[in-house]
Amino acid sequence: MSIALKQVFNKDKTFRPKRKFEPGTQRFELHKRAQASLNSGVDLKAAVQLPSGEDQNDWVAVHVVDFFNRINLIYGTICEFCTEQTCPVMSGGPKYEYRWQDDLKYKKPTALPAPQYMNLLMDWIEVQINNEDIFPTCVGVPFPKNFLQICKKILCRLFRVFVHVYIHHFDRVIVMGAEAHVNTCYKHFYYFVTEMNLIDRKELEPLTG
Q: What is the CATH number of the domain that holds 174?
A: 1.20.140.30
Nearest 10 degrees: Cα torsion 167, 72, 45, 187:
20
For residue 13, being part of any structural domain is answered with no
pLDDT at 7 over 90: no
For residue 172, being part of any structural domain is answered with yes
Q: What is the CA radius of gyration of the chain?
A: 17
For residue 1, being part of any structural domain is answered with no
Average pLDDT, whole number, for the chain? 83
pLDDT at 11 over 80: no
Structural domain that includes position 67: 25-207
Q: How many domains is the chain built from?
A: 1
Residue positions forming the annotated binding site for Zn(2+)? 82, 87, 164, 169
For residue 8, being part of any structural domain is answered with no
Say what the pLDDT of residue 42 is.
Answer: 62
Residue positions forming the annotated binding site? 82, 87, 164, 169
pLDDT in tens, 37-58: 455 456 788 889 998 888 899 9
For residue 16, being part of any structural domain is answered with no
Among candidate residues 116, 115, 99, the one with its CA nearest the CA of residue 157: 99
What's the CA gap between 128 and 134, in Å, rounded?
7
Say what the pLDDT of residue 18 is.
Answer: 52
